[in-house]
Amino acid sequence: MEKELALDLIDFLYTSPTAYHSVKTVKERLDSNGFSEVKESDKWDLQKDGKYYVIKNDSALIAFTVGNGELEEDGFKLIGAHTDSPGFRIKANPEMVAEGKYLKLNTEVYGGPLLYTWFDRPLGIAGKVSLKGKSPLKPEVKLVNINKPLLIIPSVAIHMNRSVNEGFAVNKQKDALPLLALINEKFEKNNYLVNAIAKELNVEAESILGFDLGLYEIEKGSLTGINEEFISAGRLDDMWMVYAGIKALIDSKSNKSTKVMVCMDNEEIGSLTPQGANSALLLNILERIALALGKDREELHRALANSIMISADLAHAVHPNAEEKHDPTNRPVLGNGPVLKTAASGSYSTDSYNAAIFEGLCSAANVPYQKFFNRSDVRGGTTIGPITSSLLTIPVMDMGAPLLSMHSIRELATVIDNVYSVKLFTEFFNA
């Protein structure tokens, strides 16, 4: 059963190479579990105990089940996570020729990937393509996923870079461009990529007006370790928490509170987009839910005053080869359960009040828990927790399952922490 759950997570990650495909994967799971889509442009008619979701920009999704209590008294219970992960995006006019023979693609870096992990690996291309529509103001949108080993970023041989193992700097414009093809006499180097996408989508190349395409590792995740205790896969940050939250929402029992699973895009670049956490999106959707249930704005604000949220994003476990990088007394490890993250700087939204709620929930779910603080001389990261907490003005606890190799093309987690995450989130929604 634990292994089955881990394999299900690996499947979920495999079908989610970009934020767009993440949303598609989540949508398919919700559709087959009785949820129905409501569109921002429609008039909403919601029922108590009803199950719904709304999609923004094809890359963010908010799923919710309406409680059977009164919204202003029973509030919202939210879990928030993000659909995007660091990597490469392809620029417009991407074809570049080297030595008259190599065709490479011009890319830019999205977020903060561990760049060296992207070298010498077969990469696929996936994302969203905008096509000529019925009117210039309404382009048609299609997702594309060329799930083949198309590209590779080749390393420079050690013989030409003798000090490479003492550390090497990657120039994003020069060193990290992926190789796509060899040029021969019949070769059409112009619009090579657009032609390939058009062929894949079975449309005219001229109808493609724009694209948001990224690179991804085509190899599927796997269980590793002598007892298959580890999960090695790309995009665990943060699709793992999306997976666990969506599963908990689907599996949880109906009760008085309205449960919301928030899957935001663009966390890795600061969240300031219409589909990111630093936008009016979540508050707008919560307001729409209140209005559709016949509540007024005062009742929405009363509901918010009775609401609580978990910001679920992964936590650094102590690294077996870099134990000195961690705080001396708060030392989470893989396999020991969810990690509560706190920072005096406010880069995590946890405080003692929501920490107490977190500990109570873990005890009730029979799940062990751990705590993370940055070493005082290390800046550390942040999450959607502080942004969401400020926009909604509600308590948000910042937590996540423990992870190694965060932002590597392949990150490392454990089978048991996946079980703990689903149990904790289900307990939260059922509480």
Supply the minimum distance, in Å, between the C-beta of residue 425 and Zn ion: 16
Q: Which residue's CB atom is positioned nearest to Zn ion?
A: 238
Point out which residues pair with 231 in neighbouring strands. Answer: 223, 413
C-beta closer to Zn ion: residue 72 or 217: 217
C-beta closer to Zn ion: residue 212 or 313: 313
- Near Zn ion by CB under 5 A: residue from 313, 398, 417, 427: 313
- Near Zn ion by CB under 5 A: residue from 58, 72, 237, 398: 237
Among 101, 113, 423, 18, CA closest to 251: 423
CB contact burial 46-75 (16+ within 10 A = b; e otherwise) = beeebbbbbbbbbbbbbbbbbbeebbbebb
Supply the minimum distance, in Å, between the C-beta of residue 310 and Zn ion: 14
C-beta closer to Zn ion: residue 81 or 177: 81
Whole-angstrom distance, CA of residue 283 vs CA of residue 287: 6
Binding span for Zn ion by CB under 5 A among 89-97, 127-135, 232-240, 277-285:
232-240
Binding span for Zn ion by CB under 5 A among 21-29, 237-245, 319-327, 390-398:
237-245
Supply the minimum distance, in Å, between the C-beta of residue 384 and Zn ion: 9
Tell me, by CB under 5 A, how many residues bind Zn ion.
3
Supply the minimum distance, in Å, between the C-beta of residue 22 and Zn ion: 13
Supply the minimum distance, in Å, between the C-beta of residue 383 and Zn ion: 7
C-beta closer to Zn ion: residue 198 or 239: 239
CB contact burial 255-285 (16+ within 10 A = b; e otherwise) = bebbbbbbbbbbbbeebebebbbbbebbeeb
CA triple 222-224-226, angle to 5 deg:
155
In contact, 112 and 118? CB cutoff 8 Å: no
- Near Zn ion by CB under 5 A: residue from 238, 398, 417, 427: 238
Supply the minimum distance, in Å, between the C-beta of residue 311 and Zn ion: 10
Binding span for Zn ion by CB under 5 A among 20-28, 62-70, 155-163, 234-242:
234-242
Supply the minimum distance, in Å, between the C-beta of residue 381 and Zn ion: 8
**At residue 216, what is the residue type?**
Y
C-beta closer to Zn ion: residue 314 or 419: 314
Binding span for Zn ion by CB under 5 A among 101-109, 115-123, 148-156, 235-243:
235-243
**CB atoms closer than 10 angstroms to residue 43:** 8
HSE-up (13 A, CA, CB side) for residue 279: 19
C-beta closer to Zn ion: residue 58 or 237: 237
Residue 68 DSSP label: S
Distances (CA, A) of 163 to 157, 166, 172, 188: 11, 5, 19, 39
- For residue 199, give every residue at least 6 positions away whose Cβ sits within 8 Å of its Cβ, in sequence order, or none: none
In contact, 394 and 386? CB cutoff 8 Å: no
**CB atoms closer than 10 angstroms to residue 308:** 18
- Residue 265 binds Zn ion (CB under 5 A): no
C-beta closer to Zn ion: residue 212 or 238: 238
Whole-angstrom distance, CA of residue 332 vs CA of residue 120: 32
Exposed (0-12), middle (13-18) or buried (19+): which is 385, by Cβ within 10 Å? buried
Binding span for Zn ion by CB under 5 A among 144-152, 177-185, 245-253, 306-314:
306-314
What is the binding site for Zn ion (CB under 5 A)? 237-238, 313
